[in-house]
Every structure is written in structure tokens, then in C-alpha cells.
Amino acid sequence: MLTPLKGKTVIVTGASKGIGKGIADVFAGKGANVAVVSRNIEIAESSAEEIRKNGGIAKAFAGDVSSLDSMKKMANDVASSFGGVDILCSNAGVFPNSSIEDMSINEWDLVMNTNARGALFAIQACLPFLKEAEFGRIILTSSITGPVTGYAGWSHYGASKAAQLGFMRSAALELAPYNITINAVMPGNILTEGLVELGDDYINSMAATVPMKRIGKVEDIAYAALFLASKEANYITAQTIVVDGGQIIPESLDALA
């Protein structure tokens, strides 16, 4: 049993929907004060309202991870509201599809600036508060795509997700003296609003390639993040947890039972 998060404040970037919303819901269920962050404040507010209706503590904050000023304002507002910041779930990300032949500089920059540089800016903005925390925790939402696997059309995305992990290992060394850990969750295919829109046939064909024969739920990622954020995970830093139902394991389709 992990120590409850009552009194701890968590910032979740990209928490208005998808995996971030799942992380926000689970952390709120464990008693944390949750800052629901996204660019669209209306959608963030409706996600925060849902948490409050379920008995949790949550507030919405506007924030764009591709802007350091925006992240600094958001972190300051969260700290003023809740009295500090203990945990940062750096989760916001984008994954537009583009072939190498067609990829523009703007497409490359959007993905790198949101996914990789966005993590840096969120961390830079939260660092003064994490240093003041009893123990600070940073959890990155990386991916299996890039660090482990590849997918045509996602070379920029894969590069950004691998960049997060390279960043993490050096960051861990800088943060350890402040009793701050940084780790990453690497999701496989997770059922989010965007995936639901692609329809049952698409989802079923994806599920068939996963040893556990289902697409992951946002809660599957959230519980891994929850462990890495816990007091009990205090001696774990610069590590990754793949949460993919075994998706990356089979050597070939024949290896799938």
C-alpha cells in the first residue's frame, strides 16, 4: 500500500483529455491536489469539474508547454493556489503523421518543441517549487515509439520520445541532490478519445497484435505514474516502465499466442 498523496500537489500537463486526464483522475482519487493543465482552459475546466464532482481536489490552469513564460505563469499560479508543487507529470504531447519525404521544418519543430522542449520548460518552471518539496517527483510520458519501436510517419515523434529519455538520464544527476527523482512511463497503444474516433475495426486490429489482446487504458499508465510519484519510489530515478500489455515482446507475429 502506497502512502496516500493527501496534501501533495501534482501538475499534470495535457490533462484535459487522454492519458493526462487518466493520470489526473487517478492522482485525485489518491487524495492529491491536482492541477489540470492544457492550452484550452474550457476543456481543462470541464475535466477538473469532473474530478471535483467525484470528490477530488482539482483546478484547471491554462498552459502551453512550448512556451517557457506560459509554463512559469502556470507553475506560479498552481503554487499560489495549492501552496507548492510536489509532483510534475510532464505528459502533454502531439503526434501528427508525416513522412520523411514530406516533412516540413514546421512539423518537425512542432513535435520536438511540444514533446521534448516542452518537458524541459515544464521542469524549469516547476523546479523552484520541487526543490522546496519534502520530496520532488517528475514523471515523463514517453512512448515505446522511438525508444523501442518505430512507425512509418512518426520519425519526428519517435525522435522526440527518445530525446525525452536521453534528457532524463542527465537531468536525474542534476536533480538528485535536491531529492527530486525523474522517471518515465512508456505507453504502448492506449485507448484515448482520439483512438475511439478511429472505430472498432481499427481498435480490434491493434488489440490483436498485443499479447494481452487489448488496447491499454489510461488508468494503466496512471497507476505506473502513481507508483513512480510515490514516497515509496524514493530510490528510483532515471528509469523507465514500459506499459504495453507485452506489445514489444513478440519476435514475430508467429510468436503471438
Annotated catalytic sites, by residue?
Answer: 157
Q: Exposure of 103 by Cβ count < 10 A (0-12 exposed, 13-18 middle, 19+ buried)? A: middle
33 binds ligand NAP (CB under 6 A): no
Considering only residues 17, 117, 137, 156, which one is a binding residue for ligand NAP as defined by CB under 6 A? 17
248 binds ligand NAP (CB under 6 A): no
Nearest C-alpha neighbor of 18 from the set 86, 95, 106: 95
Q: What residues between 164 and 193 interact with ligand NAP by CB under 6 A? A: 187, 189-190, 192-193
Neighbours of 9 (CB within 10 A): 24
Q: Could you tell me the smallest distance in angstroms from the CB atom of residue 239 to ligand NAP?
A: 17
38 binds ligand NAP (CB under 6 A): yes
Considering only residues 93, 136, 158, 245, which one is a binding residue for ligand NAP as defined by CB under 6 A? 93
72 binds ligand NAP (CB under 6 A): no
Nearest C-alpha neighbor of 8 from the set 80, 86, 61, 77: 86
Q: Could you tell me the smallest distance in angstroms from the CB atom of residue 190 to ligand NAP?
A: 4
194 binds ligand NAP (CB under 6 A): yes
What are the residues whose beta carbons fall under 8 Å from the beta carbon of 187, sequence distance 6 or more?
Answer: 19, 141, 143, 144, 216, 220, 221, 243, 244
Considering only residues 45, 58, 59, 66, which one is a binding residue for ligand NAP as defined by CB under 6 A? 66
Q: What residues between 130 and 149 interact with ligand NAP by CB under 6 A? A: 141, 143
What would the DSSP string read from start to end of 76-98?
HHHHHHHS---EEEE--------
Nearest C-alpha neighbor of 146 from the set 136, 165, 161, 131: 161
Q: What is the binding site for ligand NAP (CB under 6 A)?
A: 13-20, 38-40, 43, 63-66, 91-95, 114, 118, 141, 143, 187, 189-190, 192-194
